[in-house]
Amino acid sequence: MTQTVKLLFGVHAHQPAGNFPKVVRDARDRCYGPFFEVLERHPQFKFAMHVSGWLLEFLIREFPDDVRRLRTMIARGQLEVFGGGDTEPILASLSETDRRGQLGAMNERVKRIFDVRPRGAWLAERVWEATVVPSLVNRGIRYVAVDDFHFLCAGQEPQSLHGFFSTEEGGKRLDLFPISETLRYRIPFAPVSDTVAYLESLPPSGAAIYFDDIEKFGIWPETHEWVYGRRWLEDFIGSVVRSQKIETMRYADFHKNFSNRGVVYLPTVSYAEMGAWTLPPRAAQRFSQLVERAKREGTIDSDKPLIRGGHWRNFFSRYPESNWMHKRVSQASRRFHALPSSKKRDAMLHDLHLAQANDAYWHGLFGGIYLPHLRRQVFSSLVRLEAKLDRLTPRAPIEVVDIDLDGRDEIVLANRSMVAIVRPYVDGCVCELSHYKLAHNFADAFARRAELYHDRMRSGEVPGSSGAPASIHDRVAFRSQIGEDDFAIDAEPRAMFVDHWSPAEGAGVGAAYGQCESRASRLVMTGLAGALAVDKHVELDGDDMLVGYTLSAGDSGESRNGTWAVSLDIAMPSCDGPGGRYVVDGVTSGGFDGVVERDDFSVIELRDSELGGSLEVEVSPAARIDARPFLTASQSEAGFEKIMQTATIRISWPVSIPDGASVTVCVRLGVKKW
């Protein structure tokens, strides 16, 4: 009997928790549904699949026939279901308790829906750290699939990567399947005949291991027509089934019937592209130069594992906004797990898990942290959880704690309606303002910074087209008109209540606060803005946040003339969509994507139908207002685009302070739920 190469074919289906329903429905129509229909027609073609928990529930609710197809294929032994973290978290970034919780939740979901318990698991973004091994094993997982790149980084030879290996951590053994990079780049982009010929050329009785995003089969640009309209998937499956040299097999069957290929210890690593994305621009540029040089010299295959770039956790360093979300969620996790079992509720755990979904915490080819609706999902889940926690274990009105673990304390103000977090060391700004009933963080801002791909944006290079769709890694397309001004780097923080003094003569300066004290539930900060003395107080009153400034000339013998300005970066769910509008002193003044300039205003309200509420900004005395959208330029799988992050409101007062005198200005932020 002819020996065959065993094709272990796996796909991973995921949509970010909180993604727009119309986007998920479109993904189902262009990819998931057609894929399931094709595979159901070919029972001889065995495969594995992982569907993240949030997406699986969406399919059950809106497309039950898809789930029926999956059940049918499981029942006849065609399909193996993989487990993993329920909401697609980066397991390595979680505590041991939360890892086990995420894995256990997914196991139970798979058991409830498909009546099987997974033995294999998918690791989000194939992020590997050995610390995840005990959590996986303790939840019944016996093997995972990670990139062959991981193995090459450990010194393994490419010709040995046609089976599974074993590793251990803390005496717990886990088996590892190396996913073929060659197959990841061929399927479904290369012609069927070339792909099948490559599979037939592999060593008989070994495994050809493929496990990658199902979105390549219809969602990535140009792939729907290629995969279904031009029948790539149908032809591929038919060619594989007819081949005398290829046999499809489930991972579970291969794992049961074949021996491992030895023991391996993998470094902390993800897939090769991630190693570049996680580096800051200058380091990423040098990394790219090294890779290109290795390609020119013909040594890339042997050198790439030795120039692998950074690791996933670097995103916490590159993007302070990511680190903030991660540490805030970790803080809430500790509070939740400290509760007595009798007080814990499934809804609380569900919110915790949703806040841990990986999509908003990083950025590479995909929008990730640049996408406001993904960050909003994290904060919404977090705020819902903290509202419940605060009812069970109320916080003090004011707490001092280093939340983001950067060595500097933040100050947390809380009441029954909301929580505000102040960074005294950054202009005394408010970096979070979360309202419980609306489950929204109004201070979810994102700064404009340099990215490596900005050079490609400037050049506007667009590669030529061929018959097959280009790999998503090679595309350059523009979804927005992007100019040089869009690459400007923020010199000041993006937050609420960033303060600025512009004297009548000389350069403007920000405020620096050197002392903080709490007076009952009020935070008082004192400092300087140039030669101007500033007292800033922050307090919460029901659904209002009050911020007042006392500006003093001091005893220098000189008056202080100039402009005092306060900037507010305000996150609103509608962004530049039709659901948002400004109302200035009772008069509607357009959407958040417009510009509002008034020399004498008292109240501006930001109304948002997506939020189901509004934020009112009231000033005393009347002031000048300048409101405009703040946008960032980034890349996604569909191309380069500008994204509205916040509505930026600058409030300014002309002031003239006699020697020894002072003036007071105030801002009230009032939250309303409709």
Q: Of the listed 213, 303, 486, 576, which one is catalytic?
A: 213
Overall size of the chain counted in residues = 674
Is residue 318 helix, strand or coil? Answer: helix
Q: What is the mean predicted confidence (pLDDT) over 186-196?
A: 97
Strands 5-13 and 47-51: parallel
Report the range of poorest mean pLDDT among 69-73, 437-441, 588-592. 588-592
Write the DSSP assignment of 181-245 as a string of letters: HHHHHHTTTS-HHHHHHHHHTSPTTSEEEEEEEGGGTTTSTTHHIIIIIT-HHHHHHHHHHH-SS
Q: In b/e form, how buried is each residue of 387-409, taking b as 16+ CB within 10 angstroms? A: bbbbeeeeeebbbeeebbeeeeb
Q: Is residue 398 part of a domain?
A: no
| Residue 6 structure tokens | 């065993």
* Domain stop point among 240, 270, 300: 270
Q: Answer yes or no: is pLDDT of 14 > 90.
A: yes
The model's pLDDT over 29-44, given as tens digits with 9 standing for 90+, comes to 999 999 999 999 999 9
**DSSP 8-state assignment for residue 470:** P
- Locate the DSSP E strands across 268-307: none
The total of other beta-carbon atoms located within 10 Å of residue 318's CB is 21
In a domain, 365, yes or no: no
Give the number of domains in the chain: 2
Q: What is the pLDDT of residue 275?
A: 92
Q: Quick check: is 336 in a domain? A: no
CATH number (domain holding residue 151): 3.20.110.20
Out of 164-173, 217-226, 460-469, 473-482, which region has the weakest mean confidence (pLDDT)?
Answer: 460-469
Dihedral sign, CA of 334, 340, 343, 345?
positive
Average pLDDT over residues 349-378: 94
Residues 644 and 630: beta-carbon distance below 8 Å: yes
Helix (H) or strand (E) holding 614: strand 613-636
Q: Where a domain ends, among 248, 270, 292?
A: 270
pLDDT exceeds 80 at position 472: no
Any bridge partners for residue 541, and if so which? 544
Residues 99/132, Cβ–Cβ less than 8 Å: yes
| Percent of the chain surpassing pLDDT 90 | 83
Compute the mean pLDDT over every residue in the chain, rounded to the nearest whole number.
93
Q: What are phi and psi of 576, to 5 degrees?
A: -95, 20
Mean pLDDT of 243-261: 97
Pairing of strands 639-657, 596-608: unpaired
CATH for 571: 2.70.98.10
Q: In 10 A of CB 130, how many CB atoms?
A: 16
Written as one letter, the residue type at 442 is F
**How far apart are the C-alpha atoms of 180 and 7, rounded to whole Å?**
11
Residue 326: the pLDDT is: 98
Of the candidates 116, 122, 125, the one whose C-alpha atom is nearest the C-alpha of residue 103 is 122
Nearest to 627 by CA among 664, 652, 653, 654: 652
Peptide bond into 573 cis (omega under 30): no
Q: What is the pLDDT of residue 8?
A: 98
Least confident range of 271-275, 279-283, 555-559: 555-559
List of residues 6+ apart from 642 with CB closer than 8 A: 480, 481, 482, 486, 631, 632, 633, 634
Binned at pLDDT 50, 70 and 90, residue 463 comes out as very low
The H-or-E segment that residue 440 falls in is strand 440-441
| Strands 143-147 and 172-179, bridge-based pairing | parallel
3-state class (DSSP) for residue 66:
helix
How far apart are the two ends of the chain, measured CA to CA in Å? 72
Q: What angle do CA 55, 61, 64 make, to 5 degrees?
A: 95
Residue 485 catalytic? Answer: no
Confidence of residue 464 (pLDDT cuts 50, 70, 90): very low
Q: For residue 330, tell me if it sits in a domain.
A: no
Quick check: 70 and 63 in contact, CB under 8 A? no
pLDDT of 52 strictly over 60? yes
- The verdict on residue 340 lying in a domain is no
User: Among residues 462, 452, 459, 488, which one has the least CA distance to residue 639?
Assistant: 462
Q: Is residue 87 part of a domain?
A: yes
Q: Which domain holds residue 179?
A: 5-270
* pLDDT tens track for 114-152: 999 999 999 999 999 999 999 999 999 999 999 999 999
SS3 for 53? helix
Q: Which residues, 6 or more positions from 256, have their beta carbon under 8 angstroms from its beta carbon? A: none
Active-site position among 40, 57, 108, 125: 125
Say what the pLDDT of residue 560 is: 84
The tens digit of pLDDT for each residue in 404-428 reads 999 999 999 999 999 999 999 888 9
pLDDT at 568 over 50: yes
3-state secondary structure of 258: coil
Q: Is the pLDDT of residue 478 over 60?
A: no
Catalytic site includes residue 484: no
**Per-residue model confidence (pLDDT) at position 467:** 57
**Has residue 626 been placed in a domain?**
yes
Dihedral (CA of 214, 216, 218, 224) sign: negative
Which range has the worst mean pLDDT, 34-43, 174-183, 249-258, 301-310? 301-310
- In a domain, residue 32? The reply is yes
| Whether pLDDT at 589 is above 80 | yes
pLDDT of residue 396: 93
Helix (H, G, I), strand (E, B) or coil at 268: coil
Q: Given 270, 295, 328, which residue is the final one in a domain?
A: 270
The DSSP annotation for 123-162 comes to PGGG-B-GGGHHHHHHTT--EEEEEHHHHHHTT--GGG-S
Q: Would you say residue 659 has pLDDT above 90?
A: no
Half-sphere exposure in the Cβ direction for 135 (13 Å, CA): 27
* Between residues 465 and 154, the one the model is more confident about: 154
pLDDT for res 185: 94
pLDDT of residue 480: 60
Instruction: Report d(CA 315, CA 329) in Å as an integer.
Output: 16
pLDDT band at 280 (very low <50, low <70, confident <90, very high): very high
Q: pTM for the complete prediction?
A: 0.93
DSSP structural state of residue 547: E
